[in-house]
Amino acid sequence: MGYPNFYWQDGYEAFSVNPSEIDRVFAYHANQYEHHRKKTFQEEYQTYLKN
């Protein structure tokens, strides 16, 4: 079974989220601009991968 409308795109990722943490995820998204003024996405992602 194939997915005719599926294709990979550059620059996108997907993460699963524990439903009990959904409020934290929404808060993260709401504060992304301010958050990334202190640490770039690349720096944050590198830390995530190391942990």
The pair phi, psi for residue 11, each rounded to 5°, is 85, 15
Stretch 33-41: mean pLDDT: 80
pLDDT value for 1: 63
Average predicted confidence (pLDDT) for the chain: 84
| Position 34 pLDDT exceeds 90 | no
| Position 35 pLDDT exceeds 80 | no
Q: How confident is the model at residue 11 (pLDDT cuts 50, 70, 90)?
A: confident
Stretch 14-36: mean pLDDT: 87
| Position 31 pLDDT exceeds 90 | no
In degrees, rounded to 5, the angle at the alpha carbon of residue 9 between the alpha carbons of residues 3 and 15 is: 85
The pair phi, psi for residue 4, each rounded to 5°, is -65, -25
